[in-house]
Amino acid sequence: MYPMFRFESIQRVTFDDLDPYNVVNNSRYFTYFERGRVDYLREIGLISGSAGDLEKIDVAVVENYCSYRSPAYFDNVLNVYLRISYIKRTSLQFQYIINRNEDKKLIALGYTNLVRVHFPELKPRSFDNDFKEKVRNYEKGNLGKMTGIPDVK
Amino acid sequence: MYPMFRFESIQRVTFDDLDPYNVVNNSRYFTYFERGRVDYLREIGLISGSAGDLEKIDVAVVENYCSYRSPAYFDNVLNVYLRISYIKRTSLQFQYIINRNEDKKLIALGYTNLVRVHFPELKPRSFDNDFKEKVRNYEKGNLGKMTGIPDVK
Amino acid sequence: MYPMFRFESIQRVTFDDLDPYNVVNNSRYFTYFERGRVDYLREIGLISGSAGDLEKIDVAVVENYCSYRSPAYFDNVLNVYLRISYIKRTSLQFQYIINRNEDKKLIALGYTNLVRVHFPELKPRSFDNDFKEKVRNYEKGNLGKMTGIPDVK
Amino acid sequence: MYPMFRFESIQRVTFDDLDPYNVVNNSRYFTYFERGRVDYLREIGLISGSAGDLEKIDVAVVENYCSYRSPAYFDNVLNVYLRISYIKRTSLQFQYIINRNEDKKLIALGYTNLVRVHFPELKPRSFDNDFKEKVRNYEKGNLGKMTGIPDVK
């Protein structure tokens, strides 16, 4: 649906995502983003469901943004489209577009800026070459284009 | 795997389920139970992903129990086996057995007692005949057997 | 500490706020913001701990932003400074500055744009005069100044 | 109010605790229990808000139980009464009684069985003498009496 967004994480709205207004709570979208990032890293081969995965994704969130376009409801299936829009020596950005699967309605847009760090001291450090190569192979020529809030026309 | 448990809800451990000890937090199992109940009700045709679903599952939790047998870790795929062990005029019980898919290790056991109520006053009320029939058709002759903590030998 | 931020919500980091990196998870800051907004509304007399409160705060989040400056740890006491930076006919903005109480270290900055709506149809509607007056009395001459990301020098 | 429960953790119901039925979600009570345990350990001098606290409370939950007596609502102030009902070489039990502060209504009862472990291998290990002594000094002669579901009559 969105040519620059090659990856899609399917997430179903669960009862615990809802607030008293019967819609997905605003804070929960940042959890959808985070789960999407994990799915993306699994897709490009950077994590594998094994014990060492948490060490491999040692990144810290620096900035988070979400624009809410339409509410999501109980049991909705959501298409969370993700891309890495840039990767530098120690930092990268994820962008998100969330649609409801049933009616393709736009639900939310967002982005996250992350830095790679040493835990627990949180000193920035470089991404491995393997990591950067896998991202470049996946995102191809789109890295560096359209950063920040995704432009959905 | 467990003859009396005909239904299985597949749930993957997400990053937000973990606590600082890198295991699924104890409270999160009750969310797995709740998501499993929704999946079960969808399976037997009682909810359908539509707007009126929340009204149809107007039950209140009366008792909750979990026995933790082995920790679950990041990105584990869990098999949450569920059954309704009894259904009375206004109350029912769900039982749960959770295994890790990869090595079939037993992770947790539990049960939940629920009553059907009118919200917001929370007065008990009878289950519809349609509801009870669907449960009976699904659980067949096992209703009323082995209630409380599931017996896994 | 911040002349334009008259209100402060004290929030302690609890175990359930932490992720496997032993820091407050990025999504949790938006819950701190939300709890802060409730505390602010209680302070200026718009909610009172009674049954009708949820109807009175019928606003929907339109945009959410957080800049993370330093991690927060287990059992830290946080000072969440809040202000309403503008209020229009149907919309308003909250701004946040979060410090750790112990060492006054800057932890995070953020803002939220909200619109008042009718639930469940989510049609925008005007704030009551009483609501706007209470906000104006509290924020005095600062409404409309320094919107968006708080400027902390 | 409850002679054997010397300690009380005050917790306010926040918006994020609520589910679509406008009541505190059933899973959230186990978070209240967990926060209460932290408050109890701070009270008896076992944690102090410093970096090493997480290592000191290296216990794993073995069993969790909650009986829900009356719903809790938005902005309710809850009195979470806690006691340690027994402590053995490697295990202990916490009991809970939750009341609403405003009308003293009984909201929930529960207990948690925990074992002290080495993380991450989760092998049981003995509590330090200092730990056991502090618990004994606090609970005095009540240790070993009335274990399991608290008897509130």
Rounded to the nearest angstrom, the minimum Cα separation between D25 and chain A is 8
Neighbours of chain A (3+ CB pairs under 8 A): B, C, D
Return the pLDDT at A51.
65
Does residue B153 register a pLDDT over 80? no
Return the pLDDT at A148.
97
Q: Are strands B91-100 and D106-118 parallel, antiparallel or unpaired?
A: unpaired
Say which of A16, A20, A27 has its CB closest to residue D22: A20
Does residue A27 register a pLDDT over 90? yes
| Least-confidence region, from B51-55, B111-115, C37-41, C97-101 | B51-55
Say which of B15, B47, B102 has its CB closest to residue A34: B15
pTM given for the model: 0.96
Which residue out of D13, D19, D121 would a mutagenesis test of the A interface target, given it has the greatest number of A Cβ atoms within 10 Å?
A: D19
Return the pLDDT at A126.
94
Work out the burial of residue D141: count CB atoms within 10 Å of its CB; fewer than 13 is exposed, 13-18 middle, 19 or more buried: exposed
- Closest residue in D to A51 (Cα–Cα): D120
Q: What is the pLDDT of residues A58-107, one digit of tens each?
A: 899 999 999 999 999 999 999 999 999 999 999 999 999 999 999 999 99
The mean pLDDT of B56-71, rounded to a whole number, is 93
Residues of B in contact with C31 (CB under 8 A): none
**What confidence tier does C136 reach under pLDDT thresholds 50, 70, 90?**
very high
Q: What is the pLDDT of residues B96-141, one digit of tens each?
A: 999 999 999 999 999 999 999 987 777 899 999 999 999 999 999 9
Return the pLDDT at C51.
65
Return the pLDDT at C120.
72
Contact C42 D73 (CB under 8 A): no
Does residue C23 register a pLDDT over 80? yes
Strand (E) positions, chain C?
7-12, 59-68, 77-87, 91-100, 106-118, 123-124
Does residue C139 register a pLDDT over 90? yes
Q: What phi, psi does B123 have (nearest 5°)? A: -75, 135
Neighbours of chain C (3+ CB pairs under 8 A): A, B, D
The mean pLDDT of D97-121, rounded to a whole number, is 94
Rounded to the nearest angstrom, the minimum Cα separation between B99 and chain D is 16
Write down the mean pLDDT value for chain A. Answer: 93
Give the bridge partners for D92, in sequence order: D87, D114
Return the pLDDT at A33.
98
DSSP-derived secondary structure letter, D41: H
The mean pLDDT of C80-93, rounded to a whole number, is 97
- C-alpha to C-alpha distance for B36 and A47, rounded to whole angstroms: 26
The mean pLDDT of A34-62, rounded to a whole number, is 86
Say which of A15, A53, A73 has its CB closest to residue B75: A53
The mean pLDDT of D105-133, rounded to a whole number, is 92
Tokens of A123: 């000193």
| Least-confidence region, from A127-131, B30-34, C108-112 | A127-131
- C-alpha to C-alpha distance for C106 and D11, rounded to whole angstroms: 26
Q: What is the pLDDT of residues D125-147, one digit of tens each?
A: 999 999 999 999 999 999 999 99
- C-alpha to C-alpha distance for B44 and B40, rounded to whole angstroms: 6
Contact D34 C16 (CB under 8 A): yes
Does residue D111 register a pLDDT over 70? yes
Residues of A in contact with C29 (CB under 8 A): 64
